[in-house]
Amino acid sequence: MESKKVLICCANGVATSTFVAMKCKNKFKEMGITAEVSTCTSLEVKSKAQRMKPDLIISNVGKSIKVPEGIPVVYGVNLLSGREMDATWDEILEHLNK
């Protein structure tokens, strides 16, 4: 599998996005997925996504964020709370395996 790009956003671009980024890096390593993982604020996500062209955006602020067309968005709060986490990982991996 080629290297993937994942952009993770939260309200302030610090705590929750960093925590989810670390979880993703660990999970991707465990699964043999090479991925560049970046974080940003919800206000930066559209412009950063236009520059970075990620394969996937994981949002900790909901799925209604404004992003460039064609980039899938996964709601990442389940990775923080642990609720329905397996379903969220399945959704993330489904997008990255396309």
| Predicted confidence (pLDDT) per residue in 39-64, tens digit | 999 999 999 999 999 999 999 998 88
pLDDT at 13: 77
How many whole angstroms separate alpha carbon 28 and alpha carbon 12? 24
**Which residues, 6+ apart, have CB-to-CB distance to 64 below 8 Å?**
none
Which CATH number covers residue 21? 3.40.50.2300
Number of domains in the chain: 1
Written as six digits, the tokens of 65 are: 């964020």
**Residue 1 has what pLDDT?**
62
**pLDDT lower than 50: segments of the chain:** none
- Structure tokens given for 46: 């559209």
The conformational region for residue 42 under phi > 0 = left, psi -120 to 50 = alpha, else beta, is alpha
Host domain of residue 86? 4-96
DSSP 76: -
Q: What is the pLDDT of residue 38?
A: 97
